[in-house]
């Protein structure tokens, strides 16, 4: 079994090799799978998004943001303030404008600091995941800590350009995914 560090390194290299047009096309395909999944789940109203760091070739979640706004959903994101060890939850205004912070993370110019208590769905950044919903993130632990403080019924959705690994050894603090959307299909765990 590969270590988490080996997986981080391998998937960073895989993503690095993707051309911008491929990232956009795959991101749009992921959004289409998400919209199909969301159809019939109208009760879900509160969605937490991460926004892509371009230099890491992350899934472009702005397509999901636009789709959810068109459906009238309430959107949230998070930020880590300098020196902080936990994510703060921000409610996004409709059609928020963004700027890049010092790490290259898109941050809304206007937002409201709120409690995460209304969140029903969280899109979780990852590098790799397995057939059981275990994931490998960037190794800072921000999302595992954040997810661990939410209601247990909150749906945790990974987004990936790639299929799952067979098995990833989870750490005791790791929080598993409920779903993962790829350009080809939806994985349910």
Asked if 30 and 182 touch (Cβ cutoff 8 Å), the reply is yes
| pLDDT tens-digit series, residues 52-73 | 998 899 999 999 999 999 999 9
Does residue 83 register a pLDDT over 70?
no
| pLDDT tens-digit series, residues 3-50 | 999 999 999 999 999 999 999 999 999 999 999 999 999 999 999 999
- CA separation for the pair 47, 185 (Å, rounded): 21
Residue 86, token pair as written in the block: 């936990």
User: Under the phi-then-psi rule, with left for phi > 0, alpha for psi from -120 to 50, and beta for the rest, what region is 6?
Assistant: alpha
Give the burial class of 80: count Cβ atoms within 10 A of its Cβ; 0-12 exposed, 13-18 middle, 19 or more buried. middle
Asked if 188 and 177 touch (Cβ cutoff 8 Å), the reply is no
Determine the pLDDT at residue 180: 98
Sign of CA dihedral 61, 13, 22, 98: positive
Does residue 141 register a pLDDT over 80?
no
Q: Which domains does the chain have, with CATH numbers?
A: 4-188 (3.40.50.10420)
- CA separation for the pair 122, 119 (Å, rounded): 7
Q: What is the DSSP letter of 130?
A: B
């Amino acid at each position: 079994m590969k270590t988490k560090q080996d997986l981080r390194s391998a998937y960073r290299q895989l993503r690095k090799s993707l051309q911008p047009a491929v990232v956009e096309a795959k991101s749009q395909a992921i959004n289409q799978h998400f919209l199909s999944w969301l159809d019939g789940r109208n009760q879900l109203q509160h969605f937490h998004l991460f926004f892509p760091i371009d230099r890491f070739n992350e899934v472009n979640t702005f397509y999901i943001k636009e789709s959810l706004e068109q459906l009238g959903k309430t959107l949230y994101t998070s930020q880590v303030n300098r020196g902080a060890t936990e994510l703060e939850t921000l409610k996004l205004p409709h059609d928020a404008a963004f700027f890049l912070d010092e790490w290259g993370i898109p941050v809304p110019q206007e937002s409201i600091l709120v409690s995460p208590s209304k969140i029903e769905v969280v899109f979780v950044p990852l590098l790799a995941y397995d057939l059981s919903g275990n994931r490998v993130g960037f190794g800072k632990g921000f999302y595992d800590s954040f997810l661990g403080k939410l209601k247990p019924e909150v749906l945790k959705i990974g987004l990936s350009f790639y299929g799952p690994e067979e098995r990833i050894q989870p750490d005791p603090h790791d929080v598993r995914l409920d779903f993962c959307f790829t350009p080809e299909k939806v994985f349910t765990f």
